[in-house]
């Protein structure tokens, strides 16, 4: 089989997209050998689901329908020019991006057996030229943001604190996020900044996206198995800031304070913590 040399120009490996930056991501690939002499068909993929909803469970081996669930676009005929780009949103989470070209349309068994020329670029951390992208999104799921600005937000202690999370949260080799919740009142801040492994995780359920957080708002200080400890949050009305940080920046900033820590925040005002 002939190998089609291919390279990803955008997004770059290690890109961190914060909040709305992930709403319109530019995907651009280049054919290293110049314009193709015959038609090629190109398709981009993410290791996360391409659209919100129940994460797909591919069969082994994956079917053409399974592939569609991770594809960011339909297959396009790539004739001219030597580079091709399109714009597409990405879901929250760390994800591997791959672009693939081949000389046959379709991903069914018949089409794949007929392929005579193909190439790929990107992929996970162990790939020759990886393309892993990190999407930071701070989205409070509990407490629920108010429908009316300025309204009191009830935060029942027994309902906990939950933020939208990547569906692959449990994959420590991929995700590089740190979540924290800060309660502020009268110039005093109570910061819940646990080790990520101490957070609870819940898979998607119906309309609820995957989420991480606390099963209850702590009424007394907690000492988890993995430090740091978690302070108590007394009853009261606070400004609550959910913060999601790209964890490698935190480690780098400890060595060099000039390092910019990339983060996304979701601020809720008039949050009433109540037992």
**Residues 49/56, Cβ–Cβ less than 8 Å:** yes
Say which range, 4-8, 79-83, 236-240, has the weakest mean pLDDT: 79-83
Give the three-state DSSP class for 213.
Answer: strand
Q: What percent of the chain has pLDDT over 70?
A: 90
Within 10 A of 218 (CB to CB), how many other CB atoms are there? 17
Intervals of CATH 2.60.40.10 along the chain: 2-135
DSSP H helices in the chain: 64-70, 109-113, 247-255
Which of the four CATH numbers 2.60.40.10, 1.10.620.20, 3.90.79.10, 1.10.10.10 does domain 2-135 have?
2.60.40.10
DSSP strand pairing (236-246 vs 2-3): unpaired
The string of pLDDT tens digits covering residues 189-241 is 999 999 988 899 998 887 788 999 999 999 998 877 777 889 999 999 999 99
Output b/e per residue, 13-46; b: 16+ Cβ within 10 A.
bebbbbbeebeebebebbbeeeebeeebbbbbbb
Lowest mean pLDDT, pick from 67-71, 163-167, 182-186? 67-71
How would residue 86 be classed by pLDDT, with cut points 50, 70 and 90? confident
Total length of the chain: 275
- What fold characterizes domain 138-274? Immunoglobulin-like (2.60.40)
pTM over cut 0.85:
yes
DSSP string, 54-117: SPP---SSPPHHHHHHHBSS--EEE-SSSEEEEEE---SEEEEEEEEEESSS--SHHHHHT--E
**How does pLDDT run across 188-203, given as a tens digit for each residue?**
999 999 998 889 999 8
Q: Is 81's pLDDT higher than 70? A: no
């Amino acid at each position: 089989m002939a190998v089609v040399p291919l390279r990803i120009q955008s997004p770059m490996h290690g890109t961190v997209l914060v909040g709305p930056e992930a709403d319109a991501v530019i995907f651009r690939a280049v054919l290293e050998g110049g314009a193709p002499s015959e038609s090629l068909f190109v398709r981009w993929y993410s290791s996360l689901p391409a659209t919100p909803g129940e994460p797909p469970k591919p069969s082994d081996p994956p079917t053409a329908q399974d592939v569609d669930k991770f594809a960011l676009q339909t297959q396009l005929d790539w004739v001219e020019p030597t580079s091709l780009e399109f714009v597409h949103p990405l879901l929250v989470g760390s994800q591997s991006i791959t672009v693939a070209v081949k000389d046959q349309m379709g991903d069914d068994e018949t089409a794949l057996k007929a392929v005579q020329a193909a190439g790929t670029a990107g992929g996970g951390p162990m790939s020759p030229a990886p393309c892993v992208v990190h999407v930071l999104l701070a989205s409070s799921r509990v407490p629920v943001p108010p429908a009316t600005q300025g309204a009191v937000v009830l935060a029942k202690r027994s309902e906990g604190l939950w933020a939208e999370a990547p569906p692959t949260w449990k994959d420590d080799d991929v995700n590089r996020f740190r979540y924290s919740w800060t309660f502020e009142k009268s110039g005093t801040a109570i910061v819940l900044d646990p080790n990520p492994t101490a957070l609870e995780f819940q898979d998607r359920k119906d309309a609820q996206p995957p989420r991480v957080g606390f099963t209850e708002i702590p009424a007394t200080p907690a000492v988890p198995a993995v430090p740091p400890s978690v302070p108590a949050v007394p009853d009261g009305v606070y400004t609550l800031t959910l913060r999601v940080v790209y964890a490698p920046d935190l480690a780098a900033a400890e060595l060099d304070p000039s390092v910019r820590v990339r983060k996304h925040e979701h601020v809720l005002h008039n949050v009433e913590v109540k037992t």
